[in-house]
A and B are shown apart, each in its own frame.
Chain A
């Protein structure tokens, strides 16, 4: 009767746990196990089998003592010994099978999840990238997935086994003797309380320790990056004092947490050995009464010692699971994120086709931003026109440039390309028309050829050389001696900033885009190269509509029209000369760069 009751409880706990699991967002990740249903069921099953065999060992031993030794039956002893070895052998096979299935399911799970997550992140738009941050995405893709994968592996392997052995040992004890088994009924909950209690008390404290360690790390880092300033202000002593204070606090905290963890071993030892004493006493009485035999007392003691190991394993498993769950939840929340840019290739109101690009009363807020990044921008750009965009940091230059390829959606108003609202294009078709050179000169690991082919997948060598020539990068590559096969290291580390910029410009030029956007992308070039570059671009792309974004007046000075942005609003628009006359902000910028002193003074 009692036995059934216990089994019922196990099942109930299990169901409760599964329910709790399903509720969490992590539950959604479980679908990645669906392709591995067979493995995820067979793995734990074989593990249970192994555990079952292990539980028989003390019983066999009891038989050796009670029958073999009692009757001096040597063949029986050999037979039972053989059974012990056989049990071990079968156990080994079962557990190997289980390990294999568990590994297969876990790795499969990780692979599928990784793939889905990667392509999902790839689909997210600039808004989400800004919000979450690339480094977070990278963590999700790497350490978080690995953690979840090993969590799944461990759960499949151990999660059923450990409780099974703990409760199995108790059940076996009941089959031997109900009175002695009561010792188990008391000892198991007691042990669980101690093991899990210490664990749950110390876990948050360990987190606190980690935070403190981060503080010490931060102080160290600050002292390295600020070495000059610290020495200039001769603050070395103060910094050491500060560090000593932090370290002292850290070690105090560590010792405090250590005090709690230090309790685990002694207390569990006392409980287990106390239980053994109780077993000896109660078992002795039962033997005296003839209820059980000597060998069975030995078996009971053996069962007791199996419990502790498994409980500690279970406790550790709980830590891993809770970590994996946290990672899993974080991954889920990325998977649940949807791109704010939706493609809908429907016909939206067409505008005048004579303009290549048109912005109509555009307002733009970054997500979470309180102030508008752009406000009330209207601009009509003819085919083949060169527009310079200038303004201070945060004036909205890049934001404006990013609206044309629809990296962001406007908050109000519309952007038109060839008379059609950009929201009406498929992203691929829209971006096909546009060559963009981003502010940060990013190149990828691979040859020069591969890098330039990002712009045009099937670009031939002549096309690439031509693009390099226009971008003033031809000599750079020629000097490297390996031509287009020159290997660029990750992050373009083996090129200087200016060289990288020129290559990114070539990458945008190779597809001969209808619209070229240079987003402050000549900042690392000297003035002469910058000028040559602009001249070459103009000569080679007469029909190209060009947007030049820059902080430097010299870069945009010769544009057909210059758009002056100040704090998200248009402060002026027109040619250099006209703006000098009419636009206060522009004149201030020129003054601050002292480019046109003479021109101002002659006016």
Chain B
């Protein structure tokens, strides 16, 4: 409950900037409702002036019509302005919150990004924000005008005639009852429908998603049979769900009809008794038609509001997520690192219960090559995470140039590293922009030079628009190897003193693979390099080999030292390379 309250409070805060507009919108909504309700009364008055042949007060009607014209114009103007304001508030709030969430996203520790599925975060930043503001603001205005309409109608009705108003008030709950009864009944049917539909969809997903395998085992007939069985079940429960839900409209229409008829009967009765004029009756009939509508809307709005609240809570949850520890105030800028790196008694784990790296010591002299070796998923990336300070160590120190990296600004630390990962990531944009990603002010010549050094120039030239070809996240028509060459070119452009490289394991054609190797070799000259290594030559040439398994460093030393040791590396070497 408390959290709900605080969510509402925070929502109010985020709208606070627009509080003047919100108030204005509410005032206009009130005005619109009042005027809309007043018009039927005027019409009723006019009707009362039209009695019968020869008995029509044209002068009176003329005055009423003048009033009506003014009212109508004011109402529509108020409505128009209100719509505008609401639009404005809604979309501005969406923008504000979205930008806030996104800013925060850039500050969140990678721990959060790694641990949460991308789809979930995206749906918070995009879908939930939309739902939140649209559901909340639109829902709120609807709720407000709805309640106002009901209240206003009641006031007007009671002021004109108490008896008939009672009739209306007594009958309308029926409509609500019917609607909620049907909603409850259909809920279970809809649940069954969506469950069956889910089953069917997952079958479709599986069979069509892997259609090639299905065909290879000529399993089509079975797939269709199974599909048909689910399809028939879906048919039965869909029919029920759709039919029962479609009862709501006719049923509420029927109840409205009842209200209308009762107003008609009681009203006519009162007119005969002289308690009401015909014009007032007509006004009541209009009200009877209008009055029930907001009730049906409000029940819908309430669920929408609840949904919006839940969405808001999800968005705030993201915004509340603790950002990474900011750089210390006394943090220094690391200028040009000489390449000396030391790990002193470093321990780290993703989860406290599962120790990972414990008391790791490593000293790297400027220009040394460190090969990190081990089976996939052994935690090689953990080490990279710590070196780049994507994650902070639990205890111990990592030193660069004898500075604890905790005391260096993140920016300057990372500027000293060049990183080429196996999962290539490219920004939507032109090839040129991608190469210049780390150095936006690079000249065209510099970009081409970097591409040439990365052996990427030839294939870029073959692209339809050369360096101006637009590529997207998925890389479009680029092969995996070509993407990696682009990533290398990106680093080449401003070659930092330390490197983190990830060798490709597979799915790169031989020629590209050779090019990548050459590019790597060129980069590494004179630079401290950490290489996630898969190739024997890289490993053999390394100054230090770190052998990792299950996140731990099992052994470290040179190739020969480790072979002599006949430990884990020896076994690994024999199973992987000595066929």
A contact set with B: CB distance below 8 Å: 50, 57, 61, 64-65, 68-69, 72, 74, 77-78, 80-81, 84-85, 87-89, 91-92, 95-96, 99-100, 102-104, 106-108, 110-111, 114-115, 118-119, 121-126, 129, 134-135, 137-138, 141-142, 153, 157, 213, 216-236, 238-240, 243-244, 247-248, 250-251, 254-255, 258-259, 261-263, 265-267, 269-270, 273-274, 276-277, 280-281, 283-285, 287-290, 293-295, 297-298, 301-302, 305, 392-395, 405, 407, 427-428, 431-432, 436, 438, 440, 442, 444-445, 454-455, 490-491, 507, 523, 526-528, 531, 551, 554, 557, 585, 588-589, 592, 594-595
Contacts and interface: CB of A to CB of B under 8 A. Distances in A.
A233 B122 contact: no
A137 B208 contact: yes
B242 A96 contact: no
A472 to B, nearest CB: 15
Contacts of B536: 594
Interface of B: 39, 43, 46-47, 49-56, 58, 61, 64-65, 68-69, 72-73, 75-77, 79-80, 83-84, 87-88, 90-92, 94-95, 98-99, 102-103, 105-107, 110, 113, 118, 121-122, 125-126, 201-202, 204-220, 223-224, 227-228, 231-232, 234-235, 238-239, 242-243, 246-247, 249-251, 253-254, 257-258, 260-262, 264-265, 268-269, 271-272, 278, 281-282, 285-286, 289, 375, 388, 390, 410-411, 414-415, 417, 419, 421, 425, 427-428, 437-438, 440, 472-473, 479-481, 506-514, 535-537, 575-577, 579
Contact of B247 (A99, A107, A219, A527): A99
Contacts of A394: 479, 509
20 contacts: A81-B268, A92-B254, A107-B235, A107-B239, A122-B220, A138-B209, A213-B126, A228-B110, A234-B410, A235-B437, A240-B103, A251-B91, A261-B83, A290-B53, A290-B54, A294-B52, A298-B285, A440-B210, A490-B202, A527-B575
B261 A81 contact: yes
Contact of A287 (B50, B202, B251): B50
Contacts of B537: 594
Q: Which of B87, B90, B214, B227 has the most CB of A within 10 A?
A: B87
A231 B390 contact: yes
Most chain A C-beta atoms within 10 Å of own C-beta, residue among B50, B83, B219: B50
A226 B427 contact: yes
Given A118-B227, A234-B414, A280-B50, A103 B73 contact: no
A216 B575 contact: no
A126 B218 contact: no
Given A226-B425, A301-B282, A392-B509, A238 B440 contact: yes
A266 B47 contact: no
Chain B, interface SS category: helix
A141 B203 CA distance: 11
B91 A84 contact: no
Contacts of B282: 298, 301
Given A88-B254, A281-B61, A305-B289, A114 B113 contact: no
Describe A's contact surface by its main secondary structure.
helix
A129 B212 contact: yes
Nearest to A61: B264
A138 B205 contact: yes
Q: Which of B98, B258, B427, B579 has the most CB of A within 10 A?
A: B579
Contacts of A455: 217
A247 B210 contact: no
Given A234-B414, A444-B210, A284 B49 contact: yes
B212 A115 contact: no
A64 B264 contact: yes
Given A84-B257, A234-B411, A305 B286 contact: yes
Given A123-B220, A234-B410, A224 B428 contact: no
B122 to A, nearest CB: 5
A240 B102 contact: yes
A91 B253 contact: yes
A129 B87 CA distance: 44
Given A84-B260, A89-B254, A294-B51, A119 B224 contact: yes
B65 A281 contact: yes
